[in-house]
Amino acid sequence: MISPDTCVRDIAISRPGATAVFRRHKIDFCCNGAASLSQAAARRGLPVVQLQSELEALGPDEAGPPSDPSALIPHILTRYHEVHRAEFPEAIRLARRVEAVHRAKDDCPHGLADHLALMFDDLEGHQQKEEAVLFPMMLRGGGPMIAFPIERMVAEHLDVGEQLEELARLTTDFAPPPGACTTWRALYEMCRKLDADLREHIHLENNVLFPQFA
């Protein structure tokens, strides 16, 4: 049985599928992963045994993404950096269309396209720093100066966490209103995926990659 004292970050690392359980219950495993399972459950008003049994139901620990930096960094680049670059522009396009067509409706997500554009702009700057500075340093084995770029990236990850809160607010937790058109529904599904991917991405960096150079 998973102990209620285990921190959510360690569960997210060791149990593939755990991050989906945490996301479902809005438990932050990427930036606030040091909380214990019981603390996280209490914050969400959940019985800790419910979380324990959902996590146990995932089955025993299995191999997740690689943890060695020489394999994990290429995985992060192809699975997350490139995927965000492909998906944000499409989400922004869909949001502009929905906001233009449905602007007179009460539940129109006013400001969503601009918010997504701001997120993408910040993320692009962040990813470029990782690609040009931090990841090459890591692939060369680290060094004493690496603490500074790591600290900076962790701080920027916290900003992404706040942007994701705003994204959830603008999209009413990714739930389109009744009768929403296909574009609107597709847009909210895309936003849900962006949220899931970004949380997983940050989790891999904060909790798996960066600690190896601490």
Residues forming contacts to Fe ion in the complex (CB under 5 A) are 130, 205
Nearer to Fe ion, 99 or 130 (CB): 130
Could you tell me which of 128, 127, 133, 125 has the C-alpha nearest to residue 149?
133
Q: Which is nearer to Fe ion, 93 or 213 (CB)?
A: 213
As separate numbers, helices (DSSP H) first and strands (DSSP E) second, the chain gives: 10, 0
Q: Closest separation between CB of residue 131 and Fe ion, Å?
A: 8
Spell 51-65 as b/e; 16+ CB within 10 A means b: bbebbeebeeeeebe
Q: Tell which phi-psi region holds residue 53, choosing left (phi > 0), alpha (psi between -120 and 50) or beta.
A: alpha
CB of residue 2 to Fe ion, shortest distance in Å:
28
Q: Which is nearer to Fe ion, 195 or 205 (CB)?
A: 205
Short-list 210, 44, 34, CA closest to 21:
44
Of the pair 54, 197, the CB lying nearest Fe ion is at 197
CB of 126 to Fe ion, least distance (A): 6
Min dist. Cβ of residue 121 to Fe ion (A): 15
Residue written as token pair 């602007």: 103
